[in-house]
Structure 1
Amino acid sequence: MQAMQRLVRSSRRGSHRRRFLIFKCFLACGVTMLIASGALIFYLYQADLPLAYSDRHSQLLSRQGEAIAVFSSSDRSRSNVALNHISPYLIQATLAVEDRHFYDHFGFDLKGMARAVLVNLKEMNKVQGASTLTQQLARNLYLSHERTWSRKLKEAMYTAQLEMKLGKDEILQMYLNEIYYGHGAYGIEAAAQMYFGKSAEQLSLAESAMLAGVPKGPTYYSPFNQMKNAKDRQRLILNAMVETGNITELQAEKAYEEILQFQSPKLRTTGDQAPYFRDYVRNVIINELGFDESLLENGGLKIYTTLDMETQKAAELAVASELKDSPELEAALISIDPRSGHIKALVGGVNYVRSQYNHVFATTRQPGSTFKPIMYLSALSSRKMTSASKFSSQPTLFHYDNNRKTYSPKNFGDKYLGEIDMRQAIAASDNIYAVNTILTVGADQVIELGRKMGITSPLNAVPSLALGTSPVSPFEMATAFGVISNQGKQVKPVAVLKITDDEDRILYEAPSAAPEQVVEPAAAYVLTHLLESVFEAGGTGNRVSADIKRPVAGKTGTTSTDAWLVGFTPELSTAVWVGYDKGKMLGTAESRKAAPIFAKYTEKALEKVPPKIFPIPDGVVSVYLDPATGKLATEDCPSKKLEVFIEGTEPTETCDAHGDKEPEPLPVEEKTQSRSWWSDLKRWWMD
Structure 2
Amino acid sequence: MEPSRDRRLANVLTLIVCGVLAGVVLAAVAFPVVGVSGLTAKSASDSFRDLPTEIRIPPLPSTSTLLASDGKTVLAQFFEENRKNVELNDIAPVMRQAIVAAEDIRFYEHNGVDARGIVRALVRNQTSGELAQGASTLTQQYVRSVLKYSASNPAELRAATEDTAGRKLREIRYAVALEKGISKNEILENYLNITYFGNGGFGINTAAALYFSKAPAELTLAESALIAGLAQNPTQYNPVGKDEAGQRPALARRAYVLRQMVKMKYISADEAAAANKSPIGLRPKENAQSCEYSKAGFGFFCGWFLDWWQANPTFGKSTTERLAALRRGGYRIVSSVDVRMQAAAQRQVNRALSPNSRFATGVVLVQPGTGRVQAMSINRKYGVRKNPGGRTYPYTENPLLTGSTISPGYQAGSTFKMFTMLAALQQGIPLSHTLYAPRQFVSQYVGGCRTGRYYCPKNADGRMTGVQTLSSGFGESANTYFVQLQQEVTVKAAVAAAEAAGVVFRGSKDQKNIKWARDSNQAWGSFTLGTAQVTPLDMATAYATVAARGKYCKPTPVTSITDPGGRSLLLSNTTCKQAFSPQVADAANDAARCPVGDGSPSGISCTHPGGGPTAASVGGTIDRPVAGKTGTTDDNNAGWFVGYTPNLAGASFIANPDKYYDTVPDSHLPVQIVRDTFASALRVLPVKQFVKAPRRLSWGTMLQVPDVKGDTPDGAIYRLRAAGFNVSINYQAEDSDQPAGRVAGTDPSGGSYASKRSSIRITVSNGKKSHRDPRVDALCKADPKLPICRIKPGEPGFPAAPGRP
Sort the TM-score into its range (normalised by shorter chain). 0.5 to 0.7
Q: Which residue does 2:353 correspond to in 1?
A: 323
Alpha-carbon offset, residue 422 of structure 1: 1.6
Matched, 1:283 2:307: yes
Out of 298, 304, 311, which is 1:274 matched to?
A: 298
Structure 1 segments unaligned to the other structure (5+ residues): 1-25, 45-49, 77-137, 146-150, 169-173, 180-264, 632-647, 659-687
For the structure 1 residues 144 and 527, does the alpha-carbon distance in structure 2 shift closer, same or farther, using more than 3 Å as the test?
Answer: farther
Q: Which residue does 2:649 correspond to in 1?
A: 573
For the structure 1 residues 328 and 143, does the alpha-carbon distance in structure 2 shift closer, same or farther, using more than 3 Å as the test?
Answer: farther
Matched, 1:468 2:492: no
Out of 601, 609, 612, which is 2:677 matched to?
A: 601
Residue pair 1:53, 1:141 contacting (<8 A) in 2 also: no
State the one-letter code of the partner of 1:444. Answer: K
Q: TM-score, normalised by structure 2?
A: 0.49
Q: Which residue does 2:592 correspond to in 1?
A: 531
State the one-letter code of the partner of 1:530. Answer: A
Alpha-carbon offset, residue 325 of structure 1: 8.4
Matched, 1:441 2:502: no
Q: Which residue does 1:427 correspond to in 2?
A: 475
Structure-2 separation of matches of 1:467 and 1:541: 17
Structure-1 separation of matches of 2:162 and 2:81: 29
Q: Quote the sequence identity (%).
A: 22
Q: Deviations over 1:465-505 (max 9, x none)?
A: 11111212222212211221111222222222332233333
Matched, 1:479 2:541: yes
Structure 2 segments unaligned to the other structure (5+ residues): 1-38, 83-141, 168-195, 202-288, 317-321, 384-394, 506-510, 518-523, 598-606, 708-723, 726-747, 753-805
Q: TM-score, normalised by structure 1?
A: 0.56
Residue pair 2:368, 2:648 contacting (<8 A) in 1 also: yes
Q: Deviations over 1:359-404 (max 9, x none)?
A: 1123231111000111111112201454332223232222247999
Structure-2 separation of matches of 1:143 and 1:469: 60
| Superposition CA RMSD, Å | 4.8
Alpha-carbon offset, residue 293 of structure 1: 1.6
Out of 396, 404, 407, which is 1:355 matched to?
A: 396
State the one-letter code of the partner of 1:357. Answer: N
Alpha-carbon offset, residue 598 of structure 1: 0.5
State the one-letter code of the partner of 1:290. Answer: F
Structure-2 separation of matches of 1:625 and 1:267: 56
| SS at 1:606 equivalent | helix
Q: Deviations over 1:244-285 (max 9, x none)?
A: xxxxxxxxxxxxxxxxxxxxx999345455111111111222
Residue pair 1:68, 1:272 contacting (<8 A) in 2 also: no
Structure-1 separation of matches of 2:49 and 2:655: 72
Matched, 1:300 2:342: no
Structure-1 separation of matches of 2:382 and 2:44: 66
Q: Tell me whether 496-505 or 314-323 shows the greater mean CA deviation.
A: 496-505
Residue pair 1:349, 1:357 contacting (<8 A) in 2 also: no
Q: Deviations over 1:556-612 (max 9, x none)?
A: 111232111112100012111111122265556421211000101111111122433
| SS at 1:359 equivalent | coil
Structure-2 separation of matches of 1:600 and 1:470: 27
Structure-1 separation of matches of 2:70 and 2:44: 61
Structure-2 separation of matches of 1:323 and 1:376: 33
Structure-2 separation of matches of 1:390 and 1:165: 91
| SS at 2:639 equivalent | strand
For the structure 1 residues 36 and 448, does the alpha-carbon distance in structure 2 shift closer, same or farther, using more than 3 Å as the test?
Answer: same
Alpha-carbon offset, residue 443 of structure 1: 0.9
State the one-letter code of the partner of 1:275. Answer: G
Matched, 1:365 2:364: no
Out of 466, 486, 489, which is 1:418 matched to?
A: 466
| SS at 2:362 equivalent | strand
Structure-2 separation of matches of 1:322 and 1:144: 54
Q: Which residue does 1:339 correspond to in 2?
A: 369
| SS at 1:303 equivalent | strand
- Give the count of matched residue pairs: 449
Alpha-carbon offset, residue 435 of structure 1: 0.6
Matched, 1:392 2:441: no
State the one-letter code of the partner of 1:304. Answer: V
Alpha-carbon offset, residue 72 of structure 1: 3.5
Matched, 1:549 2:549: no
Out of 544, 552, 563, which is 1:501 matched to?
A: 563
Alpha-carbon offset, residue 309 of structure 1: 1.3
Matches within 5 A, 1:158-169: 160=159, 162-164=161-163
| SS at 1:452 equivalent | helix
For the structure 1 residues 365 and 622, does the alpha-carbon distance in structure 2 shift closer, same or farther, using more than 3 Å as the test?
Answer: closer
Q: Which residue does 2:115 correspond to in 1?
A: none
Structure-1 separation of matches of 2:147 and 2:652: 44
Out of 75, 79, 89, which is 1:69 matched to?
A: 75
Q: Which residue does 1:15 correspond to in 2?
A: none
Residue pair 2:435, 2:468 contacting (<8 A) in 1 also: yes
Q: Tell me whether 401-410 or 552-561 shows the greater mean CA deviation.
A: 401-410
| SS at 1:412 equivalent | coil
State the one-letter code of the partner of 2:349. Answer: V
Residue pair 1:139, 1:155 contacting (<8 A) in 2 also: no
Structure-1 separation of matches of 2:45 and 2:590: 86
State the one-letter code of the partner of 2:630. Answer: T
Alpha-carbon offset, residue 140 of structure 1: 14
